[in-house]
Amino acid sequence: MKHVFSVVAVGLAAFFVVEFFTGRIDSKPLAAVAPRIGMDAHDLDAMVPRISSKSGATIGTSSRVVYLLACSGMPTAQTMEAQALQAAGITERRRMTAREATVVVLSGSGGENVPSRLKDC
């Protein structure tokens, strides 16, 4: 009986590993989403440390905010940095995730149906 439980446990673990890798959303490279807002991936990469140092958010959080904003396609090249700074600041002040803060910022800028714009991001 002990061996049956071991085999079931290993099978269940294998199932979860397979499900994890096949069930997650494929993230797009920054170079693929940057043209949605009329910018280069290099410009967005250069923006990340500036956002981080001005907002107090980590590099990872700032990078995620920049990616989500670019992936949504809603900001323009002129408003991108200001909106990213605002979203990164929200993550620090309100203890929100980068996705939640991005939705707040985009909703405040007159964006309609923001969560669906971030669905594939």
Query: What are the distances in angstroms from CA 99 to CA 6, 7, 16, 120?
Result: 39, 39, 25, 12
Residue 23 has pLDDT above 70, yes or no: no
- What residue spans define the domains of the chain? 27-117
Mean pLDDT of the chain: 84
Half-sphere exposure of 113 (CA within 13 A, CB side): 4
- 92 or 1: which carries more pLDDT confidence? 92
User: Which of 39, 48, 41, 34 is CA-nearest to residue 85?
Assistant: 48
